[in-house]
Structures are given as C-alpha cells and as structure tokens.
Structure 1
Amino acid sequence: MKKRIHVLEDDQDIRYIIEFLLKDEGYELQLSSTFAELKSKLNDALPDLFIIDVMLPDGNGIEICDDLKTDMFTKHIPVIVMSANPESKEKSVTAQADAYISKPFDLDYVVKRIERLLVK
C-alpha cells in the first residue's frame, strides 16, 4: 500500500517540484495551498506524513504543526516543517515537528527525511 503524504505549500512551483519528486518515489499525494484546504481534505483521509510550509496565506505552518501534534486524531502523524526563515527551525521544534527542512532544499535530503520518518 502506498504511503500518503499531504503537502501544504502555497508556492505553486515548490508544490509542483515536491509533487513530481514524491510521485516519482512512489508516494500518493494530497496537495493543499491553504490551511482551509488542508482541513477539508483531512475529512476525506488522513495522510501518513505532513509536509507544511511556514508562510501561508491563511495561517502559520508552525501553529498548524502544533495543532496537528496536539489533536488526538493526528498527533501520531509525522510532520515536516519547511521554511526559508532560519528562525522557524527552533520554533518548529517547540511545535513538536518531527523534522525541519530549510528552503531552498536538496531533493535527496527531502526524500531521505521522509523515508526515515515513515519507517517508524
């Protein structure tokens, strides 16, 4: 069974790159560009992993990560936080993110982080 990854990223180009990369690696994807879109898609099916950008048009990825990690239905799901802002790394740890990826990112590094989190 394919592992499902939900990517919350408002930048269309970055979302496309991640989609292309992860589909090539054999993952099933759910894509959202807003927090509202993510919430509506969670009603359909829970993913095996979240990748969340910090700067979003309708929310902050750090706060969204914290919400996911304190919700009884999603707290067991690994969350990777992505940001171009170095200050977000420390904040993502406080929000209980399972991993942090700096933008711009190395594609191989992203795949390895995901594989490590999904093996658990």
Structure 2
Amino acid sequence: MNKRVLILDDDLDILQICTIVLRKKGFDVQTLNSSNQVLNQVKAYRPDVILMDNWIPGPGGIEATRLLKGAPDTQDIPVIFFTANSNVTQLAREAKADYFLQKPFDITELEATVQMALAPLNQK
C-alpha cells in the first residue's frame, strides 16, 4: 500500500506542485486548504506524514500541529512544518513539528524531507 501524505496549505500552486511531485514518487496525496477540523481530517485520512504550512487559515499551522501532537491517535504522525518565514526552525520547534522545510524549497529537498520523515516508519 502506498504511503499517505496530507498537505495543509492555502497556496494552490504549492499544493499542486507538491501533489504532482509526491504522486510521481508513488505517494497517495490529499490536500487541505485550511486547518479547521484538522484532528477529524487526519483521523479520517490516516496519513503517514503531514506537511503543515505556518500561515494556513483556521487555527494556523502552529496550533494545528500542537493539536495533532497532543492527541493520542495522531501524536506519532511525523509533521513537516513548512513556511517562508526566516525563523522556520524556531516556529517548527514551537509547533512541536518533527521536521521543517524553508519555502521556497526545491523538489529534491521536498522529496528528501518526506523520505526522512518516513524512514522510522519504513523500519517497522
């Protein structure tokens, strides 16, 4: 079964590019353009990894990531926090994200970060 990736971003170009790139790599991809109902959405889709934008409408990337990391059903799903903010490391730490990606990123960086986030799962 293909690994599932959930991407939360309100930038349609980013959603489209990430979806195309990750599907070519064999991932099953679902996208959301707001972080409203993030817990329910994640529980319904059961992704293997989540890409979370900082400026996502709804509670926002930091709050949405904290919600996921604080819930027993979703706390073990790796979250890659991505933003154009220059303090991405600090924001990712604040959000309790597992990984981060600075926008703009190149396709190789995206693929490498998703693979890194999935590495512990591949060992199970």
Q: Tell me, yes or no, whether TM beats 0.5.
A: yes
SS in 1 for 2:5: strand
Q: Which residue of 2 aligns with 1:119?
A: 119
Q: CA deviation at 1:50?
A: 0.5
Q: Which residue of 2 aligns with 1:10?
A: 10
Q: Which residue of 1 aligns with 2:74?
A: 74
Q: CA deviation at 1:67?
A: 1.2
Q: Which residue of 2 aligns with 1:83?
A: 83
Q: CA deviation at 1:62?
A: 1.3
SS in 2 for 1:10: coil
- Tell me the distance in 2 between the aligned counterparts of 1:95 and 1:58: 15
Contact 2:39 2:67 in 1 (8 A): no
Given residue 113 of structure 1, which amino acid in structure 2 is its aligned partner? T
Q: Which residue of 2 aligns with 1:64?
A: 64
- Tell me the distance in 2 between the aligned counterparts of 1:109 and 1:42: 24
Contact 2:55 2:83 in 1 (8 A): yes
- Tell me the distance in 1 between the aligned counterparts of 2:10 and 2:117: 23
Q: Which residue of 2 aligns with 1:36?
A: 36
Q: TM-score, normalised by structure 2?
A: 0.89
Number of corresponding residues: 120
- Tell me the distance in 2 between the aligned counterparts of 1:44 and 1:110: 24
Q: CA deviation at 1:20?
A: 0.5
- Tell me the distance in 1 between the aligned counterparts of 2:39 and 2:62: 15
List runs of 5+ in structure 1 lacking aligned partners. none
